[in-house]
A = this chain, B = another copy of it.
Amino acid sequence: MPEEVPRGRLEGDRVLLGSTAVPELYEGGYFGRKVDSRLALSLVEAAYLMDRSRIMVSSNGSKLDFKGLFELASSIERGFEFRYVVYKDLRERGYYVQPGVPDFRVYPRGGHPGKTPAEFYVYVISERTPVPLAEMSEPIRVAGQVRKRLMIAVVDEESDITYYEAREKEMSGKGWPGSSGGKATLLEDRVVLWDEEASKSLHNQGFYGKPVGGRLQLSLVESAYLLDKGLIQMEDREGRSLGVEEFRERAGRIEADFPMKYGVYRDLRERDLVVKTGFKFGSHFRVYKQVESPEKVPHSEYLVHAVAEDYMFHLPVVSRAVRLAHSVRKQMIFAYGREGNVRYLEIRRLKP
């Protein structure tokens, strides 16, 4: 190691270097921040520079080797190991990275601090740590307010990193509501519309239900929406008429998630999107911007999964959902909130 490598001192959760380190490390690489005339490095920055033999670090008067610094840093700072691998990876990809909120700020390619604003806020998560919806939506909001994008770096158990971008999504389409009605029966757990004309009309114009013989099988959310809109009448197997409220109450007994799913279904339909089950893709809905006729159904643009306000994102589940959505060229959207105030959160893979 050449004589002139700057020497730093571990103090609390940072490494302090003298003013002579400023030109090379700060001005030459945007490492650390200036404190008076000295340079303060975060532990992640210090470990990165030490691993490249660009600084030496001592603690309580004795020199640390990399293993020593790494073990100490891991004790001092929760999540140090994750932040370290993400910081290292982004730096090695040629980005300038600075400590920030929630974890880092990343500058666009060709940009750097002082020249350009940061492009991304980076949120580092371990694959193992479930993230509450509120904790995911908060950094999205914060980033959005200052026109930054939110990058989520998920570190798996083998220290591989998957990058995602999360953002609020405005949803709207050009579908049109079905017309005309008919009498439907709530059976054990689905609904059959018996009238052939009404069945045809609802299917052809709104892409509702699935034709079976001359009849139309409607899902519970479709039925509730059509009933709500006055487009069908409903009865039970005994021929007793069911109103909107009673039907929704019964549907909730058949499917515990019904109120949550219906809130999102209704909101999407009201935004003129065409909504069908997403079962084959493991999500609640697949969503089309427009379906001109059931004979030429286009590609559906979105997979939408309704989640409760206290939903926990399990990263392996998110990984599977996003990967599957992309493999069929769809956007993966998580929908939450109450009827009348549904919000949409898109999570997509980033390849920085």
| Interface pair A237/B74, CB less than 8 Å apart | yes
CB atoms of B190 and A157 under 8 A apart: yes
**Cα A288 to Cα B314 with chains together (Å):** 25
Decide yes or no whether A313 CB sits under 8 A from chain B.
Answer: no
- Contact between chains at B126 and A277 (CB < 8 Å): no
Known: A74-B188, A185-B67. A162 touches B327 (CB 8 A): no
Residue with the greatest number of chain B CB neighbours at <10 A, chosen from A79, A85, A189, A321: A189
A245 touches B (CB below 8 Å): no
Alpha-carbon distance A154/B45, docked complex (angstroms): 52
Given contacts A187-B71, A188-B74, A237-B74, contact A320 B282 (CB under 8 A): yes
* Cβ-defined contact, B159 with A210, below 8 A: yes
Copies of this chain, count: 2
CB distance from A276 to the nearest CB of B (A): 7
User: Which of A80, A188, A328 has the most C-beta atoms of chain B within 10 angstroms of its own C-beta?
Assistant: A188
Q: Give the interface segment out of A3-11, A54-62, A212-220.
A: A212-220
Contact B74 A187 (CB under 8 A): yes
1/0 per residue, CB under 8 A from B, across A16-47: the answer is 00000000000000000000000000000000
Q: Is there an interface contact between A320 and B324, defined as CB atoms closer than 8 Å?
A: yes
Residue A119 interfacial (CB < 8 Å): no
- Complex formed: what's the CA distance from A134 to B287 in Å? 35
**B162 adjacent to A279 (CB under 8 Å):** yes
